């Protein structure tokens, strides 16, 4: 620090600080090193060649504060990098635990993974959104998030205690599935799971939010009063595992979906005919189970 004093018999306080414009006896020169540190600390005002002692002290404090903030930001970024690398292990552990039916532990790891993403992107709990992963390098993360939400959805479906959590997860899952490159695969998995889902109302809402139209067995639905019935599941299993494997089977399925809705609507308007159709379909299901080994 170099002090510059008046050398011309000027009265006390005749020097003027170019920064604060106060009249002082002494001005202190700002060396090039300090000038660089100020710029590195984010100081944006014009830096004079010299200032009064008070301003010099304040500039020094600015440098110290800037260095502290910079150190905190660097530590924060380092933590984010560590968490970003850790996230893959959380997902891996969660999948292994889910596969071995250790659902509670799997849910903990999946929730930790989602929390890590919230910390990295500095968002509030439950605030994850597909637009955060629009970058090409991070777009694959959307598929990972979908798989995590899908496993959590099935875990929470196991107990009525977690119904509120399942509803929240279903909404997030629908949001991310729509942005996923594996959307059709997730819908296929959801269609298969629908046969055993406990909370059918939540599943239907998920399909609606995700924009997925379920190809139901319309006549069977109308006959048995809904999708969640063993006989309906058997008929759907025959469609998915037998008819879908051949060209003729797929053609028959298409024709069914074209012509069956009017009959299903008629059955809904005339419930007295349901027992007759139930007898017919029960016989068909018996044949499918016995001769085609179709299971619900």
Could you read off the pLDDT tens digit of each residue along the chain, which spans 296 residues? 555 544 433 345 689 999 999 999 999 999 988 998 888 888 888 889 999 999 999 998 888 887 777 777 777 788 788 888 899 999 999 999 999 999 999 999 999 999 999 988 889 999 999 999 988 777 889 999 999 999 999 999 999 999 999 999 999 999 999 999 889 889 888 887 876 788 878 988 898 899 887 666 778 888 987 776 888 888 888 988 899 889 999 899 889 888 888 898 898 889 999 999 999 999 999 999 988 887 76
Residue 238 lies in a domain: yes
Residue 257 lies in a domain: yes
Give the per-residue pLDDT at 9: 39
b (16+ CB within 10 A) / e for 51-70: bbeebbeebeebbeebeeee
Which of 183, 287, 193, 203 has the alpha carbon at shortest distance from 240? 193
> Are the C-beta atoms of residues 62 and 43 closer than 8 Å to each other?
yes
> Are the C-beta atoms of residues 187 and 210 closer than 8 Å to each other?
yes
Q: How many Å apart are CA 121 and CA 129, to the nearest integer?
A: 10
Tokens 């596969």 locate to 99
Residue 152 lies in a domain: no
Run of H or E residues at 29 = strand 26-29
C-beta atoms surrounding 216 within 10 Å: 20
Give the per-residue pLDDT at 261: 81
Give the per-residue pLDDT at 69: 76
The contacts of residue 237 (CB under 8 Å, 6+ apart) are: 195, 294, 295, 296
Number of compact structural domains in the chain: 1
Give the per-residue pLDDT at 215: 65
Residue 112 lies in a domain: no
Q: How many Å apart are CA 35 and CA 7, to the nearest integer?
A: 26
Which of 276, 267, 174 has the alpha carbon at shortest distance from 226? 267
Residue 244 lies in a domain: yes
Give the per-residue pLDDT at 199: 87
The contacts of residue 104 (CB under 8 Å, 6+ apart) are: none
Residue 281 lies in a domain: yes
Reported pTM: 0.59
Run of H or E residues at 5 = strand 2-5
Supply the DSSP symbol for 35.
H
Residue 116 lies in a domain: no
Q: Secondary structure of 76-145 in the HEC alphabet?
A: HHHHHHHHHHHHHHHHHHHHHHHHCCCHHHHHHHHHHHHHHHHHHCCCCCCCCCHHHHCCCCCCHHHHHH
Handedness of CA 253, 269, 231, 183 (dihedral sign): positive
Print the domain residue range for 290. Answer: 215-296
Residue 147 lies in a domain: no
Give the per-residue pLDDT at 48: 92
Distances (CA, A) of 113 to 78, 106, 138, 197: 18, 11, 15, 25
Token output for 208: 């609606």
> Are the C-beta atoms of residues 199 and 167 closer than 8 Å to each other?
no
């Amino acid at each position: 620090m170099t002090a510059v004093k008046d050398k011309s018999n000027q009265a006390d306080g005749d020097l003027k600080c170019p920064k604060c414009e106060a009249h002082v006896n002494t001005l202190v020169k700002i060396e090039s090193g300090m000038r660089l540190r100020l710029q590195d600390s984010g100081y944006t005002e014009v830096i004079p060649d010299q200032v009064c002692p008070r301003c010099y002290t304040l500039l020094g404090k600015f440098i110290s504060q800037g260095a502290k903030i910079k150190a905190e930001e660097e530590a924060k970024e380092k933590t984010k990098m560590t968490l970003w690398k850790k996230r893959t292990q959380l997902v891996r552990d969660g999948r292994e635990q889910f596969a071995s039916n250790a659902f509670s532990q799997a849910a903990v790891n999946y929730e930790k993974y989602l929390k890590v993403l919230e910390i990295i992107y500095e968002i509030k709990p439950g605030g994850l959104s597909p637009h955060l992963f629009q970058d090409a390098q991070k777009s694959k993360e959307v598929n990972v998030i979908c798989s995590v939400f899908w496993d959590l959805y099935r875990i929470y479906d196991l107990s009525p205690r977690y119904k509120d959590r399942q509803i929240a997860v279903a909404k997030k899952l629908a949001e991310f599935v729509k942005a996923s490159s594996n959307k059709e695969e997730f819908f296929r998995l959801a269609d298969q799971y629908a046969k055993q889902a406990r909370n059918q109302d939540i599943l239907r809402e998920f399909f609606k939010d995700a924009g997925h139209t379920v190809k139901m067995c319309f006549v069977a639905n109308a006959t048995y009063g809904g999708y969640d019935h063993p006989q309906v599941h058997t008929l759907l299993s025959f469609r998915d595992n037998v008819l879908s494997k051949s060209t003729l089977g797929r053609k028959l399925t298409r024709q069914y979906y074209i012509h069956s809705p009017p009959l299903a609507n008629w059955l809904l308007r005339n419930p007295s005919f349901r027992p007759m159709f139930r007898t017919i379909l029960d016989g068909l299901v018996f044949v499918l189970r016995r001769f085609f080994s179709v299971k619900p």
